[in-house]
A and B are shown apart, each in its own frame.
Chain A
């Protein structure tokens, strides 16, 4: 039982960290594409 609670905690911590990394990745993608598209528009 104790080991399964530990596994559940490890799984949740890992999932939480990964979810926040995905959120950060989404932000990075959002700003990168925004920056690139504004640069391209400025060139025109």
Chain B
């Protein structure tokens, strides 16, 4: 038996040695990165619910490359690039994750399921108690979502791709996936992966940004509430119904996402406990599992390897950094307008990583002033961040195709 014949028994190794140096190194790199993500997930440095299936999927898909009957290299996980209908039908019977990808991922259904789950977990009462303050902080924290757009176009991205990568600044994974699916199908795999990788980092990175921008004296500033505002479930339900209808009316393109989010809120506030248990449990966690798994499996070296990936990594971090700065700037504006009675740290919660950024704000404040509670106001800003990110998604998805007519490259 010759060396080549022997190696062909172990197709993963055979294809690794047969591929170009760049692909070989990328496959090895992704296998190691996948293991690292699992480790960081287990340690709690990155979000374990996403990172463990994603990391394992990344390692497995890059290891399990084989020579297919067509003579080309591929995997038995899924093929995101197939467009031919007959070929797709055949693949649905061969690649075990192809049905999930085609019927749930590439049409945004999985993102909608996650949004329903988020809706069930949200208590919109925090927003209803202080709507203008919450929405103001949230829109300030969208600085990265807006300012990254011209930076990305200056780096050579077209308007669609620039808008998609800018959405990372909104710190909302399903929105990034949805925007890139709508605007830049070619780049949605790397953009989605970059977004979810960075979102896991917000919990670790934002505390340093807050400490750098807000002095300890201001971080310890107490919040004096004039009166406690009680919001009934009827008011929350009315808000969900009216809010969903108005936003769908304004942005039909993002209507599935608005509907999913407010469906979760409505089900919770209507007291439909069986639905709450289902959406907040099996549906949310099932969707999160398959989201992480699919994102990991999509990181196959030959699919994802593109010179644009490095630029996307840089732009993603710029977007999140600018959004964090914008949020704290919003906090400072409210601090000045309120006669220096508002803790500017709360501004970071406008970045819509519910409830991570709100918890970050409370943690940083508690380090210098254990008795100061900012969490209720921070949660209001954080939930509003979901709404402002949805608004920006709607704007980008609606106006960018129109702009193509005005500015044909």
Query: Using a CB–CB distance below 8 Å, which chain A residues touch chain B?
Result: 1, 3-5, 7-8, 10-12, 14-16, 18-20, 22-27, 29-30, 32-34, 37
Contact = CB atoms under 8 A, between A and B. Distances in A.
B59 interface: no
A33 B235 contact: yes
Contact of A20 (B135, B146, B232, B235): B135
B396 interface: yes
B392 A30 contact: no
Contacts of B391: 15, 18-19, 22
A15 B395 contact: yes
A16 B384 CA distance: 12
Interface stretch (B112-120, B173-181, B237-245): B237-245
A30 B396 contact: no
A26 B146 contact: no
Interface class of chain A by DSSP: helix
B233 to A, nearest CB: 10
A24 B391 CA distance: 15
Nearest to B138: A19
Interface of B: 127-128, 131-132, 134-136, 138-139, 142, 146-147, 149-150, 153-154, 159, 162, 231-232, 234-235, 238-239, 242-243, 246-247, 250, 384, 387-388, 391-392, 395-396, 399, 403, 407
Nearest to B229: A30
B139 A15 contact: yes
B231 A30 contact: yes
B150 A1 contact: yes
B265 to A, nearest CB: 12
Nearest to A9: B146
